[in-house]
Amino acid sequence: MTELIGHFACTNPLHAALTRDPKAVILFKGPDAYLSPAHAGRRDWGPTWNYAPLRVWADITVDESLTRPAIDLLATLPDVDLIETVIHNDINKSLCVVDE
């Protein structure tokens, strides 16, 4: 992975923390599901939960000049209503961009 684009408010404590120390672990939750003993084909097993997490260690760069390009990029994604609300309310002036 070369780039992960996101945003958070500059007043978020993460902004100050990542400015001091840009190292971070980013966690992603993958698919998960209940797995019954019957489904596993082993009646002598107890039920379990199957899951797939992902950890990414990264150096984070906060660059406020990338706010507009990041919002434009994020606006192309499926959850467009939230991005349009941010743009129309001009809240984007208080957003920062996380660029790994």
- pTM of the predicted model, to two decimals? 0.56
Instruction: Return the pLDDT at 17.
Output: 92
pLDDT for 3 beyond 90: no
Q: What Rg do the C-alpha atoms of the chain give, in angstroms? A: 19
DSSP string for residues in 41-67 = T-TTSPPEEEEEEEEEEEE-EE-GGGH
Type of residue found at 27 = L
Q: What is the pLDDT of residues 23-38, one digit of tens each?
A: 999 898 888 888 888 8
pLDDT band at 79, cuts 50/70/90?
Answer: low
Type of residue found at 20 = R
Task: Please measure the distance between the N-terminal and C-terminal CA atoms of the chain and give it in whole angstroms.
Answer: 9
Share of the chain above pLDDT 90, in %: 13
Q: Is 73 helix (H, G, I), strand (E, B) or coil?
A: helix
Q: Which residues pair with 21 in a beta bridge?
A: none
